Amino acid sequence: MQKQSQQDFLELRINRDFGEIITTYFDFLKQNLKKFVNVFLAYNGIFLIGILIVSYLLVSGFIGLITYQNNRFLPGASDTSEAYIFYFIAGGILYFVLMIILAVLNYSLSSSYLITYELNKGNHFDKKEVWNFLKPKLGSILLFILFLFLIYIGLSIISFVLLIIPFLGMLAYYVVLFYALAWFGVSFTVMLRDNKGVTEAFGEGWNLVAKNFWKSVGVNFVIGLLNGVFIVLILIIPSVIVGIYSFHVVENDVDVSVGIIPTIIYTLGTCALLIVLIFSQCLSQFVNGILYYSLHEKTYNTYTRDKIDQIGSLGE
Protein backbone atom coordinates (compact mmCIF):
# COMPACT_ATOMS: atom_id res chain seq x y z
CA MET A 1 0.00 0.00 0.00
CA GLN A 2 2.82 2.35 0.87
CA LYS A 3 4.61 1.54 -2.40
CA GLN A 4 1.48 2.39 -4.30
CA SER A 5 1.25 5.74 -2.49
CA GLN A 6 4.87 6.50 -3.30
CA GLN A 7 4.33 5.65 -6.96
CA ASP A 8 1.34 8.00 -7.06
CA PHE A 9 3.22 10.79 -5.27
CA LEU A 10 2.78 14.13 -7.00
CA GLU A 11 6.05 16.06 -6.70
CA LEU A 12 5.20 19.61 -5.66
CA ARG A 13 8.70 21.11 -5.72
CA ILE A 14 8.71 21.82 -9.45
CA ASN A 15 8.75 25.17 -11.22
CA ARG A 16 5.41 25.15 -13.03
CA ASP A 17 3.75 27.66 -15.32
CA PHE A 18 0.23 28.99 -14.84
CA GLY A 19 -1.63 26.14 -16.53
CA GLU A 20 0.50 23.46 -14.88
CA ILE A 21 -0.25 24.86 -11.41
CA ILE A 22 -3.99 24.61 -12.09
CA THR A 23 -3.59 21.07 -13.43
CA THR A 24 -1.46 20.05 -10.44
CA TYR A 25 -4.10 21.44 -8.10
CA PHE A 26 -6.79 19.21 -9.60
CA ASP A 27 -4.46 16.20 -9.71
CA PHE A 28 -3.73 16.75 -6.03
CA LEU A 29 -7.44 16.97 -5.18
CA LYS A 30 -8.20 13.84 -7.20
CA GLN A 31 -5.62 11.95 -5.17
CA ASN A 32 -6.23 13.48 -1.73
CA LEU A 33 -9.79 14.84 -1.52
CA LYS A 34 -11.29 11.77 0.17
CA LYS A 35 -8.55 11.60 2.80
CA PHE A 36 -8.63 15.34 3.47
CA VAL A 37 -12.41 15.22 3.95
CA ASN A 38 -11.78 12.66 6.73
CA VAL A 39 -9.22 15.01 8.28
CA PHE A 40 -11.63 17.93 7.92
CA LEU A 41 -14.48 16.08 9.63
CA ALA A 42 -12.22 14.67 12.36
CA TYR A 43 -10.96 18.07 13.52
CA ASN A 44 -14.08 20.10 12.77
CA GLY A 45 -16.65 17.72 14.27
CA ILE A 46 -17.49 19.66 17.43
CA PHE A 47 -17.41 22.95 15.53
CA LEU A 48 -19.87 21.60 12.96
CA ILE A 49 -22.28 21.06 15.84
CA GLY A 50 -21.59 24.67 16.80
CA ILE A 51 -22.47 25.77 13.25
CA LEU A 52 -25.78 23.94 13.55
CA ILE A 53 -26.54 25.74 16.83
CA VAL A 54 -25.56 29.12 15.35
CA SER A 55 -27.75 28.46 12.29
CA TYR A 56 -30.68 27.60 14.56
CA LEU A 57 -30.30 30.79 16.60
CA LEU A 58 -30.02 33.00 13.51
CA VAL A 59 -32.98 31.36 11.78
CA SER A 60 -35.17 31.30 14.91
CA GLY A 61 -34.44 34.94 15.64
CA PHE A 62 -35.00 36.01 12.04
CA ILE A 63 -38.27 34.10 11.64
CA GLY A 64 -39.45 35.33 15.03
CA LEU A 65 -38.76 38.98 14.22
CA ILE A 66 -40.54 38.76 10.86
CA THR A 67 -43.54 37.08 12.48
CA TYR A 68 -43.63 39.68 15.25
CA GLN A 69 -43.52 42.56 12.76
CA ASN A 70 -46.41 41.02 10.79
CA ASN A 71 -48.58 40.27 13.82
CA ARG A 72 -47.79 42.99 16.35
CA PHE A 73 -50.95 45.04 15.61
CA LEU A 74 -53.27 42.05 15.76
CA PRO A 75 -55.53 41.66 18.83
CA GLY A 76 -53.96 39.51 21.53
CA ALA A 77 -50.47 39.65 20.04
CA SER A 78 -47.78 39.29 22.68
CA ASP A 79 -44.57 41.27 22.79
CA THR A 80 -41.91 38.60 22.33
CA SER A 81 -39.58 40.70 20.21
CA GLU A 82 -36.89 40.84 22.93
CA ALA A 83 -36.51 37.05 22.89
CA TYR A 84 -36.17 37.01 19.10
CA ILE A 85 -33.67 39.87 19.17
CA PHE A 86 -31.66 37.95 21.78
CA TYR A 87 -31.63 34.83 19.56
CA PHE A 88 -30.53 36.83 16.54
CA ILE A 89 -27.82 38.81 18.35
CA ALA A 90 -26.52 35.75 20.21
CA GLY A 91 -26.42 33.82 16.92
CA GLY A 92 -24.59 36.69 15.22
CA ILE A 93 -21.94 36.93 17.95
CA LEU A 94 -21.42 33.16 18.06
CA TYR A 95 -21.26 33.12 14.26
CA PHE A 96 -18.50 35.76 14.24
CA VAL A 97 -16.43 33.96 16.90
CA LEU A 98 -16.95 30.51 15.37
CA MET A 99 -16.08 31.64 11.84
CA ILE A 100 -12.80 33.15 13.05
CA ILE A 101 -11.87 29.95 14.88
CA LEU A 102 -12.82 27.78 11.90
CA ALA A 103 -11.03 30.05 9.43
CA VAL A 104 -7.79 29.80 11.42
CA LEU A 105 -8.19 26.06 12.03
CA ASN A 106 -8.90 25.09 8.43
CA TYR A 107 -6.39 27.52 6.93
CA SER A 108 -3.86 25.68 9.09
CA LEU A 109 -5.19 22.17 8.44
CA SER A 110 -5.08 22.50 4.64
CA SER A 111 -1.55 23.92 4.73
CA SER A 112 -0.37 21.27 7.19
CA TYR A 113 -1.93 18.48 5.11
CA LEU A 114 -0.17 19.69 1.95
CA ILE A 115 3.20 19.98 3.71
CA THR A 116 2.79 16.58 5.42
CA TYR A 117 1.98 15.08 2.02
CA GLU A 118 5.15 16.55 0.53
CA LEU A 119 7.39 15.54 3.44
CA ASN A 120 6.02 11.96 3.43
CA LYS A 121 6.24 11.68 -0.38
CA GLY A 122 2.57 10.73 -0.58
CA ASN A 123 -0.63 10.46 1.47
CA HIS A 124 0.42 7.32 3.38
CA PHE A 125 0.28 9.08 6.74
CA ASP A 126 -2.13 9.10 9.66
CA LYS A 127 -4.42 12.10 10.11
CA LYS A 128 -2.84 12.68 13.54
CA GLU A 129 0.39 13.66 11.78
CA VAL A 130 -1.40 16.65 10.25
CA TRP A 131 -2.31 17.95 13.71
CA ASN A 132 1.04 16.98 15.25
CA PHE A 133 2.79 19.10 12.63
CA LEU A 134 0.66 22.09 13.65
CA LYS A 135 0.84 21.85 17.45
CA PRO A 136 4.35 23.30 17.94
CA LYS A 137 3.46 26.18 15.60
CA LEU A 138 0.19 27.33 17.20
CA GLY A 139 1.81 30.42 18.73
CA SER A 140 3.22 31.49 15.37
CA ILE A 141 -0.13 30.80 13.69
CA LEU A 142 -1.99 33.06 16.14
CA LEU A 143 0.61 35.81 15.69
CA PHE A 144 0.33 35.42 11.91
CA ILE A 145 -3.46 35.86 12.11
CA LEU A 146 -3.01 38.98 14.26
CA PHE A 147 -0.68 40.48 11.65
CA LEU A 148 -3.19 39.43 9.00
CA PHE A 149 -5.96 41.44 10.68
CA LEU A 150 -3.74 44.52 10.83
CA ILE A 151 -2.81 44.19 7.16
CA TYR A 152 -6.46 43.59 6.30
CA ILE A 153 -7.41 46.94 7.85
CA GLY A 154 -4.96 48.69 5.53
CA LEU A 155 -6.20 46.70 2.53
CA SER A 156 -9.80 47.59 3.39
CA ILE A 157 -8.94 51.29 3.19
CA ILE A 158 -7.18 50.79 -0.17
CA SER A 159 -10.11 48.72 -1.45
CA PHE A 160 -12.61 51.40 -0.44
CA VAL A 161 -10.64 54.05 -2.36
CA LEU A 162 -10.38 51.83 -5.44
CA LEU A 163 -14.11 51.02 -5.44
CA ILE A 164 -14.89 54.74 -5.67
CA ILE A 165 -13.15 54.88 -9.06
CA PRO A 166 -15.52 53.71 -11.84
CA PHE A 167 -14.59 50.57 -13.81
CA LEU A 168 -10.76 50.77 -13.59
CA GLY A 169 -11.02 51.02 -9.83
CA MET A 170 -13.12 47.85 -9.76
CA LEU A 171 -10.53 45.99 -11.86
CA ALA A 172 -7.72 47.26 -9.65
CA TYR A 173 -9.70 46.17 -6.58
CA TYR A 174 -9.86 42.56 -7.78
CA VAL A 175 -6.18 42.56 -8.74
CA VAL A 176 -5.29 43.76 -5.23
CA LEU A 177 -7.69 41.21 -3.70
CA PHE A 178 -6.26 38.19 -5.53
CA TYR A 179 -2.69 39.39 -4.99
CA ALA A 180 -3.39 39.66 -1.25
CA LEU A 181 -4.88 36.14 -1.19
CA ALA A 182 -1.77 34.79 -2.91
CA TRP A 183 0.55 36.73 -0.58
CA PHE A 184 -1.25 35.56 2.58
CA GLY A 185 -1.45 31.93 1.44
CA VAL A 186 2.17 31.70 0.26
CA SER A 187 3.46 33.51 3.37
CA PHE A 188 1.55 31.15 5.65
CA THR A 189 3.05 28.14 3.86
CA VAL A 190 6.51 29.70 4.13
CA MET A 191 6.08 30.08 7.87
CA LEU A 192 5.00 26.46 8.36
CA ARG A 193 7.23 24.74 5.79
CA ASP A 194 10.44 26.72 6.31
CA ASN A 195 10.04 27.39 10.06
CA LYS A 196 10.39 31.14 9.59
CA GLY A 197 9.19 33.86 11.93
CA VAL A 198 5.96 35.69 11.11
CA THR A 199 7.47 38.91 9.77
CA GLU A 200 10.15 36.97 7.90
CA ALA A 201 7.45 34.74 6.37
CA PHE A 202 5.45 37.76 5.20
CA GLY A 203 8.60 39.23 3.69
CA GLU A 204 9.54 36.00 1.91
CA GLY A 205 5.96 35.52 0.72
CA TRP A 206 5.91 39.05 -0.69
CA ASN A 207 9.23 38.43 -2.44
CA LEU A 208 7.99 35.21 -4.08
CA VAL A 209 4.59 36.56 -5.13
CA ALA A 210 5.79 39.98 -6.30
CA LYS A 211 8.34 38.40 -8.66
CA ASN A 212 5.54 36.32 -10.16
CA PHE A 213 2.74 38.87 -9.93
CA TRP A 214 0.40 37.89 -12.75
CA LYS A 215 0.88 34.16 -12.26
CA SER A 216 -0.08 34.51 -8.58
CA VAL A 217 -3.05 36.77 -9.31
CA GLY A 218 -4.23 34.59 -12.20
CA VAL A 219 -4.06 31.33 -10.26
CA ASN A 220 -6.11 32.76 -7.39
CA PHE A 221 -8.62 34.30 -9.80
CA VAL A 222 -9.19 31.03 -11.68
CA ILE A 223 -9.40 28.90 -8.54
CA GLY A 224 -11.65 31.47 -6.87
CA LEU A 225 -13.96 31.30 -9.88
CA LEU A 226 -13.92 27.49 -9.93
CA ASN A 227 -14.53 27.34 -6.17
CA GLY A 228 -17.54 29.58 -6.71
CA VAL A 229 -18.88 27.07 -9.26
CA PHE A 230 -18.10 24.27 -6.79
CA ILE A 231 -20.14 26.02 -4.07
CA VAL A 232 -23.07 26.46 -6.43
CA LEU A 233 -23.00 22.81 -7.52
CA ILE A 234 -22.76 21.47 -3.97
CA LEU A 235 -25.60 23.70 -2.80
CA ILE A 236 -27.95 22.93 -5.69
CA ILE A 237 -29.92 20.28 -3.80
CA PRO A 238 -30.36 22.20 -0.50
CA SER A 239 -31.04 25.41 -2.47
CA VAL A 240 -33.77 23.71 -4.50
CA ILE A 241 -35.35 22.30 -1.34
CA VAL A 242 -35.28 25.67 0.44
CA GLY A 243 -36.45 27.45 -2.70
CA ILE A 244 -39.43 25.11 -3.24
CA TYR A 245 -40.42 25.37 0.41
CA SER A 246 -40.12 29.18 0.35
CA PHE A 247 -42.32 29.28 -2.77
CA HIS A 248 -44.84 27.10 -0.93
CA VAL A 249 -44.75 29.47 2.06
CA VAL A 250 -45.36 32.57 -0.09
CA GLU A 251 -48.01 31.04 -2.35
CA ASN A 252 -50.04 29.51 0.48
CA ASP A 253 -49.45 32.28 3.02
CA VAL A 254 -48.00 29.78 5.50
CA ASP A 255 -47.27 31.04 9.00
CA VAL A 256 -43.61 30.01 9.43
CA SER A 257 -43.80 30.67 13.17
CA VAL A 258 -46.18 27.73 13.59
CA GLY A 259 -44.52 24.34 13.74
CA ILE A 260 -40.92 23.24 13.72
CA ILE A 261 -40.60 22.29 10.03
CA PRO A 262 -39.78 25.81 8.68
CA THR A 263 -37.10 26.27 11.34
CA ILE A 264 -35.56 22.86 10.56
CA ILE A 265 -35.49 23.47 6.79
CA TYR A 266 -33.99 26.96 7.00
CA THR A 267 -31.55 25.92 9.76
CA LEU A 268 -30.20 22.98 7.74
CA GLY A 269 -29.97 25.18 4.63
CA THR A 270 -27.97 27.84 6.49
CA CYS A 271 -25.76 25.20 8.11
CA ALA A 272 -25.01 23.57 4.73
CA LEU A 273 -24.04 26.95 3.25
CA LEU A 274 -21.63 27.76 6.09
CA ILE A 275 -19.95 24.32 6.00
CA VAL A 276 -19.42 24.51 2.22
CA LEU A 277 -17.96 28.02 2.51
CA ILE A 278 -15.51 26.82 5.17
CA PHE A 279 -14.46 23.82 3.10
CA SER A 280 -13.97 25.97 -0.01
CA GLN A 281 -11.47 28.04 2.00
CA CYS A 282 -9.39 24.88 2.47
CA LEU A 283 -9.40 24.30 -1.27
CA SER A 284 -8.20 27.86 -1.90
CA GLN A 285 -5.29 27.41 0.49
CA PHE A 286 -4.30 24.18 -1.26
CA VAL A 287 -3.66 26.07 -4.48
CA ASN A 288 -1.59 28.71 -2.67
CA GLY A 289 0.47 25.94 -1.07
CA ILE A 290 1.12 24.47 -4.52
CA LEU A 291 1.90 27.98 -5.75
CA TYR A 292 4.45 28.34 -2.93
CA TYR A 293 6.34 25.20 -3.99
CA SER A 294 6.41 26.33 -7.61
CA LEU A 295 7.60 29.87 -6.83
CA HIS A 296 10.13 28.63 -4.27
CA GLU A 297 11.64 26.20 -6.77
CA LYS A 298 11.76 28.86 -9.46
CA THR A 299 13.63 31.18 -7.10
CA TYR A 300 15.97 28.76 -5.31
CA ASN A 301 16.13 25.57 -7.46
CA THR A 302 16.38 23.39 -4.34
CA TYR A 303 14.69 20.32 -5.87
CA THR A 304 16.74 20.58 -9.06
CA ARG A 305 19.95 20.79 -7.05
CA ASP A 306 18.93 17.79 -4.94
CA LYS A 307 18.34 15.74 -8.11
CA ILE A 308 21.70 16.79 -9.52
CA ASP A 309 23.42 15.85 -6.25
CA GLN A 310 21.68 12.45 -6.29
CA ILE A 311 22.81 11.77 -9.85
CA GLY A 312 26.33 12.87 -8.94
CA SER A 313 26.45 10.56 -5.92
CA LEU A 314 25.28 7.62 -8.04
CA GLY A 315 28.04 8.27 -10.58
CA GLU A 316 30.81 8.14 -7.97
Q: What is the pLDDT of residues 97-150, one digit of tens each?
A: 998 999 899 999 999 999 999 999 999 999 999 999 999 999 999 999 999 999
pLDDT of 77 strictly over 80: no
More confident residue, 248 or 129: 129
Residues 6+ apart with CB under 8 A from 77: 68, 71
What's the rounded mean pLDDT across residues 293-311?
Answer: 86
pLDDT band at residue 3 using 50, 70 and 90 as cut-offs: very low
pLDDT band at residue 80 using 50, 70 and 90 as cut-offs: low
pLDDT band at residue 247 using 50, 70 and 90 as cut-offs: confident
Q: What is the pTM of this model?
A: 0.88
pLDDT band at residue 257 using 50, 70 and 90 as cut-offs: low
pLDDT of 190 strictly over 90: yes
Report pLDDT digits (tens) over 37-60.
999 999 998 888 999 999 989 888
What pLDDT was estimated at residue 231?
85
Portion of the chain with pLDDT greater than 90, in percent: 54
pLDDT of 4 strictly over 50: no
What pLDDT was estimated at residue 260?
80
Give DSSP secondary structure letters for the chain.
Answer: -HHHHHHT-----S---HHHHHHHHHHHHHHHHHHHHHHHHHHHHHHHHHHHHHHHHHHHHHHHHHHHHHHTTSTT----HHHHHHHHHHHHHHHHHHHHHHHHHHHHHHHHHHHHHHHTTSS-S-HHHHHHHHGGGHHHHHHHHHHHHHHHHHHHHHHHHHHHSSTHHHHHHHHHHHHHHHHHHHHHHHHHHS---HHHHHHHHHHHHHTTHHHHHHHHHHHHHHHHHHHHHHTHHHHHHHHHHHHHHHHTT--TTSSSHHHHHHHHHHHHHHHHHHHHHHHHHHHHHHHHHHHHHHHH-HHHHHHHHHHHHHH-
- The most confident of the ranges 60-64, 78-82, 158-162, 309-313 is 158-162
